[in-house]
Chain A
Amino acid sequence: MSTFKKMMEKTALPLFSNKTILISTGSDAMTEKSKTEKAKISWKSKDCLGLRGVSRDEIELVLNTARSMKEIHSRTVKKVPPLRGKVAVSLFYEPSTRTRTSFELAATRLSADVISIAASTSSVVKGETIIDTANNLRVMGTDVIIMRHNLAGAPHHLARNIDIPVINAGDGTNEHPTQALLDMFTIREHKGQLEGLTVAIVGDIIHGRVAHSDMWGLLTMGAKVRFVGPPTLIPESVKDFGVEVYHNLDEALEGVDVINMLRIQRERMTKNFFPSSKEYSRIFGLNMERLKRCKPGVLVMHPGPINRGVEIDSDVADCKSSVILEQVTNGIAVRMALLYLLVSGEKETHEKTTDSTPSLFE
């Protein structure tokens, strides 16, 4: 047995091999029958660029892996070795506190070395293309690039031009897949499943990368999605994908299991998407009165950072129904899962080579 496998057993993680995990199709209490129905599932792409086109099996794989990862969080020593010797680079072309910290903690807990690069300007302004920047990092031994960019499609552009995994940590107005994965993880923890649930996503849909990733993920998982906001912020074509569109918050909240309030960016006002944050708050803000009319057990979510008093009132953000801080905790588990699935693949071959090659460092 390789050192790697021994280490994995000590961590009480399920025994993974080559990005493939055995998952049960039934509940946690595995019957003999369900054990035999175990399906061999793997994350298909080299990268994680978005949730559009990602299969239900793949999403379940990440969520199930994240469950094991979350367990590590409750330990006194919050660190396991599967990415030992790997290098993760977070390449952020746009400021971020939560997502970046979350990714870096996730990689650190898996024992990867983490390098963090804040690129203040877009590659074009800087004069070097993101491909060149990333290739420089690659030849320095980087195993995965976690990238945030202000332009939609930037991680896709990079992923096409580089042979190491790229994880999208938010690309402009397009997607933010790990946020949606942690949203789904959180919902599943509370509701047991995603299939058949109704999720209202309220706010700036047109510019909302969280809204987009949530939509693709939730629809794939069999949930119903309602987009709520002024028509200026919801593209007409979302209806073609099976999303219900509401312009009245009270109607939209009827019977929903989850409410996801999106951050409203103040700069949208200057472009006439809505007249003022005061008016937005009045029409689309979530207050206690509205929450009380919702179905019992409704979950209140928010990807952060919160504009208290704009899209969500303080008492709602801090109430019992709110799982906003749980989302943040779960974000680490989900990102650990994804990093593990994308990066640990060649680990064993790597170990074997070092085993067979005498080394000064053995």
Chain B
Amino acid sequence: MGRKPKENSMNILIQNARVLNPAAGADQTADILIEDGRIAKIGPSIRAKEAKAIDATGLWLLPGLIDIHVHLREPGFEGKETIQSGTRAAAAGGITSLACMGNTNPPIDNQTGVDFILERVAATGIVRVYPVGAITKGMESCEIAPIGEMVEAGAVAICDEQGIMDSQVMRRAMEYSTIFHIPVLSHAEDFALSQDGFIHEGQMAVKLGLISQPAEAEAIQVARDLLLAKKTGAQVHITHISTAESVDLLRFYKKKGVNATGETAPHYLLLTDESTEDFNTNAKVNPPLRTKEDQDALFEGLRDGAIDCIASDHFPWSCEDKNVEFPMAPSGVIGLETLLPVMMNQILERSGMELAPLLRLVTDKPAKILGIPGGVLQEGEPADLTLWDPAPRYKIDKNQFYSKSKNTLFDGWEMKGRVARTFVGGKLVYDYDKGFLE
């Protein structure tokens, strides 16, 4: 998995860090030795003369984050983000592995598309990128895409980002996907209910006089896909859950033994439709921002395990794209560079969770959903690591982002702690003081 074996062969000794391995609930001050891109040893006072020592006193060492819902926009929308800029933003956010969605132009719906992504990653990327292929050809919800060849080329999951309204198509795709043991990612949206709605149906829609869409537009399709998962035995993962009903449905069907998982995103946890005040187009996301009650249900889902992970749903749009009339504005916010800071601050605080179970939502749990390595700090595992400096206090400044786009909702938010260094396969790829290390 390492791209530059020469450099990776340099051994590194990170000393005196607070080493957190959320999957095992481990939390200890220790040294960690990286050899040949892998974690060779974790323990107190490791001695390794050949290794380059890094004093990490006062810093926390976490498994590199795994973000399973990212839009890198390449090919087709390189003005908004590229594999190069997006993976740099990820590294600066402490993310060492990400799954990139295939709703590019052209969409990633065959082997050539997957090959292209992986070639661009090898040439320009600095973190691990796992392509997600389309469920249907052209993402047109008609004919199933060649899932087998995409999986063979390296796709780890399939998803049609605009959802699939035709239940027969979804049923067949789920059945067919079981051959390859990959998850079907469900974008749950009933277009008949949602298509005219620009924001969530509630008080804010009245205040702004905007035609809205009900929470049921999401929940109805969540229910459908869980029912189809139950019938077909497919592994289904519900993306960007935003409503209380969706959480209840997922919890219910998991208890019935359905092979289902779900994710939510920081903006659904921390923001409501109130953010659309004054027709703020940055707050236009799909599904739309909901209510306080939905937030409470999402947090409950995080606590009791109904929701399995948190993903950024990083969706870059340029200033020109967003600085238009609200109904014309495209949906999406970026989030790679804010995911870990908001996890460590606002989400930690509001969830009332312990650090370890919270961090599992962005480390081993998402890794398990996609069946990819990483997410644990264990001897023998690839050295994908994030060094977190818990001390600095600062405000998020979108102009400091490495992403090409600035459409964040967290600009100006106060944070404590930041990513100090990021290692992928034992190689230091990002250092807060020095930037990216080519």
Contacts and interface: CB of A to CB of B under 8 A. Distances in A.
Contact of B327 (A130, A172, A237, A238): A172
A281 to B, nearest CB: 25
A169 B198 CA distance: 22
B212 interface: yes
B129 to A, nearest CB: 33
B225 to A, nearest CB: 26
Contact of B206 (A130, A161, A241): A241
14 contacts: A122-B328, A124-B324, A130-B325, A151-B328, A153-B210, A153-B279, A157-B323, A173-B210, A209-B209, A235-B205, A237-B202, A237-B203, A240-B206, A241-B206
B206 A149 contact: no
Contacts of A236: 201
Contacts of A238: 206
B418 to A, nearest CB: 31
Contacts of B207: 52
Contacts of A240: 203, 206
Contacts of A124: 324-325, 328
B100 to A, nearest CB: 28
Contacts of B323: 131, 157, 161
Contact size range, B: 20 to 34
Given A156-B278, A235-B205, A207 B325 contact: no
B208 interface: yes
Interface in A229-265: 235-238, 240-241
Contacts of B212: 235
A206 interface: yes
Contact of A237 (B198, B205, B278): B205
Contacts of A161: 323
Nearest to A212: B209
B402 interface: no
B211 interface: yes
Nearest to A53: B207
A244 to B, nearest CB: 15
B211 A237 contact: no
Contacts of B325: 122-124, 130, 149, 151, 153-154, 157
A157 B209 contact: no
Contacts of A179: none
Interface in B185-234: 198, 201-203, 205-212
Contact of B324 (A157, A174, A241): A157
Among B206, B207, B208, B209, max chain A CB count under 10 A is at: B209
A152 interface: yes
Contacts of A151: 325-328
A171 B328 CA distance: 14
